[in-house]
Chain A
Amino acid sequence: MKPAPFGYAKATSVDHAVALLSQYADGRLLAGGQSLIATLNMRLSAPRLLIDINALDELKSISRDGDTLSIGALVRHAEAERSDEIARHAPLIALAMPHIAHPAIRNRGTIGGSIAFADPAAELPACLLALGGEVEIANTGGTLRVGADDFFKGLFETALGPGDVLTAVRIPVARAESRFGFAELARRHGDYALVGLAAAARADGKALRDVRLAFFGVGATPLRARSAEAAVERGEDPVAALAHDLAPQDDVQASAATRRHLAGVLMQRVAMQLAEPRR
């Protein structure tokens, strides 16, 4: 199908994008477009105006500031995949990257777009949650930051309001004692996950502390598995604990029972990854 007609404006700065959004209530930001243009083509969405932010160089940098790695919203997946800074300071994102869609999609899709769209089966929202990162937002009131635990609200619903521009994600820089794990199952390489798990922890001798397990594809948002987190910290079996954490639904892709089983399989794999010292 073809999109319904819309106007198009090229934002020249973040302030300009914010101004356009406040002026046109029915405007949508266009970043990589890899989800938005698909929904336009299928006429699941028909905004009156697209505000293209692709020219905003101020949103394209990856920079470290002390203990925080800031990734600009317009950094494309392919750039993140090649980035030494991300490999060094945010290894969980580097682990997730090859699972995200296909090369042609990764060449266009952006980090900020993926977080803002918040597909419940997408990798990056779960990574942000596992890492305890933050989202940086600009609007007419200035800028603010929202933590990952408060950002994902519901199905495709986030803390972003209609006038908000997501400008960057901020991630705590990995330390020597940081541990990460990532696994997902999809029918075809690069498809959205049937079930996925992004995890972060801190090694303390033989124990793991500050364990954060973020499952995706099993609910309306990426989900912390808090009982399983506690089990890992106590050195107990996290798979049994998952029954308290996850209540997946049946859908066309897989039954709830299948998803519960697969979540346990991924939990075992990721628990092993977390126990290994980082290379």
Chain B
Amino acid sequence: MTERFHDIALTVNGEEVRERVDARKTLVDFLREDLSLTGSHVGCEHGFCGACTVRLDGAVVRGCLTLAVQCDGAKIETIEGVADTGAIADLQEAFQARNALQCGFCTPGMLLTAAALLAAGGVPSRDQIRAHLSGNYCRCTGYHAIVDAVEAVARARAGKSA
């Protein structure tokens, strides 16, 4: 099997998907073009900007640095699926309340990356939040409001569980 086109079967946001893909198609292009899941954005296409962030088997990855053909048998979650579960509703609300987005291009990636940090529990320091989000570019906000939003959610979640 050294062909260019391959059949893949995977789960995307809880739904079984079977498609035939060109080996050169990146995961984010597959999600956007074949499945019309356009919440994951294509920015730099070489791993710098983080706009294409999705979850692969539970871990955040760059959608532009993963090939769709590699995701045979995998579980993919995009911002559409994660938002629909309500699991990050508090984070989305905090982003809105604190103007942690302007154009919104980076926001899906920011949310998923921040959600991974928040899932680890505890209240990370602002430096830790910045380090964790360092791979996600935002050209509008200057990051301050994003760090504010993530910090507020971490505090609120810690308060609730305490």
Q: Chain B's interface: helix, strand, loop or mixed, by majority?
A: mixed
How many pairs of residues, A versus B, come closer than 8 Å at their CB atoms? 103
**How many residues from B make CB contacts under 8 Å with A?**
35
Question: Are the C-beta atoms of A37 and B134 separated by less than 8 Å?
Answer: no
Question: Are the C-beta atoms of A105 and B62 separated by less than 8 Å?
Answer: yes
**Does residue B9 face the partner (Cβ distance < 8 Å to A)?**
no
Distance A188 CA – B26 CA, assembled complex (angstroms): 26
**Does residue B69 face the partner (Cβ distance < 8 Å to A)?**
yes
Question: Are the C-beta atoms of B45 and A104 separated by less than 8 Å?
Answer: no
Among candidates B2, B3, B22, B47, residue contacting A105 with C-beta atoms closer than 8 Å: B47
Distance A34 CA – B60 CA, assembled complex (angstroms): 13
Question: Are the C-beta atoms of B46 and A8 separated by less than 8 Å?
Answer: no
**Does residue A49 face the partner (Cβ distance < 8 Å to B)?**
yes
**Does residue B1 face the partner (Cβ distance < 8 Å to A)?**
yes
Question: Are the C-beta atoms of B62 and A6 separated by less than 8 Å?
Answer: no
Distance A24 CA – B1 CA, assembled complex (angstroms): 13
Contact residues on A (Cβ < 8 Å of other chain), bracket: 35 or more
Distance A105 CA – B29 CA, assembled complex (angstroms): 18
**Does residue A155 face the partner (Cβ distance < 8 Å to B)?**
no
Question: Are the C-beta atoms of B1 and A9 separated by less than 8 Å?
Answer: yes
**Does residue A207 face the partner (Cβ distance < 8 Å to B)?**
no
Question: Are the C-beta atoms of B60 and A104 separated by less than 8 Å?
Answer: yes
Given A5-B24, A8-B3, A104:B135 Cβ within 8 A: yes
What would 15 A/B residue contacts be, using CB atoms closer than 8 Å? Answer: A1-B45, A3-B26, A4-B24, A5-B4, A5-B23, A8-B3, A8-B6, A33-B67, A33-B70, A34-B62, A34-B65, A42-B45, A105-B47, A105-B135, A108-B62
A contact residues vs B (CB 8 Å cutoff): 1-10, 20, 24, 30, 33-34, 37-38, 40-42, 49-50, 52, 54, 78, 98, 101-105, 107-108, 188-190
Q: Which 8 A-B pairs have the closest CB atoms?
A: A102-B135, A8-B23, A38-B46, A189-B134, A107-B59, A3-B24, A7-B2, A9-B2
B contact residues vs A (CB 8 Å cutoff): 1-4, 6, 22-24, 26, 29, 45-47, 50, 53, 56, 59-62, 64-67, 69-70, 113, 116-117, 130-132, 134-136
